């Protein structure tokens, strides 16, 4: 972990699913306008697999996939909240829903926008 990073904690609404994610203290979230992200209200914070740890609740996670099946949309089977998922754009990373972080305050973070409605033409802008 670098000096600019901290361990964020978070989880679903009911607390059945809990996780840790190492990311910058002052991370930048990404808002996507695709149909899935819009309906779920996700603010994306993508972290590498070595910077994500599921602390509890694997048994409560349900999975939803569609279209290509690459994205793995996990949600709590008790409260329905999506605390994280595997994004099609970053299939080897974890895409944390920043709204599920314990210290999330939308007024305190910078949010960039991604045109997910035109995913095929725009995805190169968010891939490493």
CATH 2.170.150.70 fits 5-125, yes or no: yes
Average pLDDT over residues 96-121: 87
- Please report, for the chain, the start and end positions of each structural domain, with discontinuous segments joined by +: 5-125
Confidence at residue 121, expressed as pLDDT on a 0 to 100 scale = 73
Buried b (16+ CB within 10 A) or exposed e, 10-31: bbbeeebbbbbbbbeeebebbb
Quote the CA–CA distance of 102 and 6 in Å, as a whole number.
Answer: 13
114, 126 contact by CB (below 8 A): yes
Strand 28-32 relative to strand 110-114: parallel, antiparallel, unpaired? parallel
Q: How many residues does the chain have?
A: 128
Could you tell me what percent of the chain has a pLDDT over 90?
A: 75
| pTM of the entire predicted model | 0.88
Range in 14-18, 117-121, 123-127 with the lowest mean pLDDT = 123-127
Return all residues near 33 (Cβ < 8 A) that are at least 6 apart: 113, 114, 115, 116, 117
Tokens 């996670």 sit at which residue?
Answer: 61
């Amino acid at each position: 972990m670098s000096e600019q990073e901290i361990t964020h904690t978070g989880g679903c609404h009911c607390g059945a699913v809990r996780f840790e994610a190492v990311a910058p203290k002052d991370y930048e979230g990404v808002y996507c306008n695709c149909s899935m992200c819009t309906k779920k209200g996700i603010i994306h914070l993508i972290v590498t697999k070595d910077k994500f740890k599921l602390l509890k609740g694997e048994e409560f996670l349900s999975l939803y996939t569609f279209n290509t099946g690459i994205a793995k949309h996990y949600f709590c089977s008790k409260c329905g909240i999506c605390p994280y998922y595997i994004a099609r754009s970053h299939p080897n990373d974890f895409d944390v829903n920043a709204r599920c972080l314990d210290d999330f305050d939308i007024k305190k973070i910078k949010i960039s926008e991604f045109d997910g409605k035109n995913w095929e033409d725009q995805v190169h802008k968010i891939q490493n």
